[in-house]
Homo-oligomer: A and B are copies of this chain.
Amino acid sequence: MSQHAYLRIADDLRQRIIEGRLAPGDRVPSRHELAREHGVSDRVAVEAVRLLVAEGYVESRTGSGTFVRRRPEVKRLTRSWYRAHGRADSPFRADMVAQGRTGTWRSASDAGEATPGVAERLGIAEGDPVMVTRYIFLADGQPVMLSTSWEPLKLTRGTPVMLPEEGPYAGAGVVTRMRAIGQEVSLASEVVSARAVLADEAGRLDEPMGSIVMVVQRTYSGERPVETADIVVPVDRYELEYTIQVE
C-alpha cells in the first residue's frame, strides 16, 4: 500500500469514513490517540489529518477536536438557455424554488471605477465609473454563494435601476432591470474556472479554509455588455449544469 506513515493513517481513516464506521459528526481520534494507535510521532498524525481536511472528509475545530464532515448534498444550479426567460424574478430565486428552498440575499452597492479586467469585460475604459454591488446569497437562511457585480454607470445613472436593490425593480434580476431602461439583453457569457477559497470568502460562506470554489465570470450583453459579475460557488454545495443545443 502506501509507503509513508501519514498516508497509511489517512487511508485508514478515509476507509473508516467511507464504510460508515465513522459517521458524519463523529469525532475522529485526536492526533495524540492516532499517533499512539499507529506507533508514530504526533506530527505524522497531524499530517494525516491535514490531508483529510484538504480532501474535505473531516474538519478541525480548535480546542474541540476533529470531526467527520457532514457533506451538504450537492445541489445543481441550472444555468441553461431556457431558464433565462424574461420573468420578473431573479434567476437565483427561481433556482431555489425549483429545489424547494427559499432563496434570499443581502447586498450592498457602491460607486467605483472599472479595474482593467472589469473594463475589458464591459467594453468600457479603465477607470470609467461603475456601480459595484456585492451579494451574499442565502438558501434557507444559510450563505451558499457570493457575487460581485459591475454595471457601467454610463448606462444606469439617473435611471430608476441605478441601484440594483432599490426602487421599483429591486431584486428583479439584471435582464428585467436592463430591459426597463431600454437595454435588451440577448446573451449571457459564463466563463468558469476554479481555485482555492480565499480567507474572507471562507468566513462569509462558512467553508473551511482550503476548500475549492468555482468562479463564474458572467457577462450579460445585448448590443453591448450591460453587466458583468464574479460568482463564487463552493464545489461541495453546488455543481453547475449547462444545457447546450446541438445544431
Flag if A241 contacts B186 (CB, 8 Å).
Answer: no
Binary flags per residue of A169-201, CB closer than 8 Å to B gives 1, else 0: 000000100000000011111111111100000
Flag if B189 contacts A243 (CB, 8 Å).
Answer: yes
Chain A interface size range: 35 or more
A22 within 8 A of B: no
User: CB within 8 Å of B: which residues of A?
Assistant: 54-56, 74, 76, 79-81, 84-86, 175, 185-196, 210, 212, 214, 220, 235, 239-247
Flag if A86 contacts B54 (CB, 8 Å).
Answer: no
Q: Pick the contact of A188: B84, B191, B246 (CB < 8 A).
A: B246
Query: Chain B residue with minimal CB distance to A235?
Result: B194
Flag if B195 contacts A235 (CB, 8 Å).
Answer: yes
A246-B186 contact in complex given A193-B239, A212-B194, A241-B191, C-beta closer than 8 Å: yes
Flag if B193 contacts A79 (CB, 8 Å).
Answer: no
What are some 28 contacts across the A-B interface (CB < 8 A)?
A: A55-B196, A56-B195, A79-B242, A79-B244, A81-B244, A81-B245, A84-B245, A84-B247, A85-B247, A86-B246, A86-B247, A175-B246, A185-B246, A186-B245, A186-B246, A187-B243, A188-B244, A189-B244, A190-B241, A191-B239, A191-B240, A192-B214, A192-B242, A194-B214, A195-B235, A196-B212, A212-B212, A214-B214
Q: Pick the contact of A239: B175, B192, B247 (CB < 8 A).
A: B192
Complexed CA–CA distance, A166 and B192 (Å): 33
Q: Pick the contact of A192: B187, B188, B240 (CB < 8 A).
A: B240
Complexed CA–CA distance, A210 and B196 (Å): 10
Complexed CA–CA distance, A242 and B247 (Å): 15
Residues of B within 8 A of A191 (CB): 76, 239-242
Residues of B within 8 A of A55 (CB): 196
Complexed CA–CA distance, A239 and B240 (Å): 14
Complexed CA–CA distance, A85 and B187 (Å): 18
Residue among A55, A76, A212 facing the most chain B CB atoms (10 A cut-off): A212
Rounded to whole Å, the gap between the CB of A91 and the closest CB of chain B is 10
Complexed CA–CA distance, A106 and B207 (Å): 39
Nearest first, the 7 closest Cβ-Cβ pairs linking A and B are A194-B194, A188-B244, A193-B239, A192-B240, A81-B245, A84-B246, A190-B242
Complexed CA–CA distance, A85 and B191 (Å): 21
Q: A54-B196, A193-B235 are in contact. List 17 more A-B contacts (CB 8 A).
A: A79-B242, A81-B81, A81-B246, A84-B244, A84-B245, A187-B246, A188-B243, A189-B244, A190-B241, A190-B244, A191-B241, A192-B192, A192-B241, A193-B214, A194-B214, A195-B212, A242-B242
